[in-house]
Amino acid sequence: MGERLNIMTAGTHCIGAYLAKPAGKPKGGVVVVQEIFGVTPHIRAVADRFAEAGYTAIAPAFFDYVENDVELGYDKTGMERGKQLAMEVGLDRAAEAVASAAESISSSGRIGVVGYCWGGTVALLGAQRLGLPAVSYYGARNTGFLDQPLQAPVVFHFGANDRSITAEAIEKHRKAWPDAPVYVYEGAGHAFNRDVDPTHYDEAAAKLAWQRTLAFFDQHLAGSA
């Protein structure tokens, strides 16, 4: 459904991206921020779903800063390599890439950002530093940024059984930003939206989070908010 393209980021660095366009006039645009496994078929499918919902969606290949065309497996080897690449890219450069990706689809209207795991924290930075309405899925690194103000609305999704994000950490989100919805899904763990991974996927949580995510973007991107 989508297509591959290149985008220029800060410092004139060129990285790849996956672009999915809606059939009709866009309701807005969404930057889709990957997990630590690269722009995998799953992330491309997420972008396609946003396009089917009426949004222009772009998934930047953040790891192109270090190594081109990275698509890792959801195993120990892939996780270790993904963590290394994420560290090499860094959150500051990732936020810059979100800005460049958002600019590349700015003709679609208002732009938001959604991210998963590592990308969940990058999405949060998009709201804090770029003023983009953001949806953060199980961002375990969020706690390092709770002292920084939001410049745009944010929604948080967490699994109640996520071993990488404690109930205490989730509560800190509520205290930091009382107006930001924090949804916790009972029975779900980390990466509950990853439907290609039966060890993590939770269908009920993923469907409800998707409905809430679309409602958020419909309000803040397509609506008058």
Query: Which residues participate in catalysis according to the annotation?
Result: 117, 162, 190
Give kind and range of the element (H or E) at residue 172.
Answer: helix 167-176
Distance CA 118, CA 211 (A): 22
Residues contacting residue 138 through CB under 8 Å, at least 6 positions apart: 116, 117, 120, 157, 158, 159, 162, 164, 165, 190, 191, 192
Residues contacting residue 56 through CB under 8 Å, at least 6 positions apart: 19, 20, 21, 22, 26, 28, 29, 30, 105, 108
CB distance 4 to 16 below 8 Å: yes
What six digits make up the tokens of 187? 């029975």
CB distance 119 to 134 below 8 Å: no
CB distance 59 to 47 below 8 Å: yes
HSE of 31 in the Cβ direction (CA atoms, 13 Å)? Answer: 35
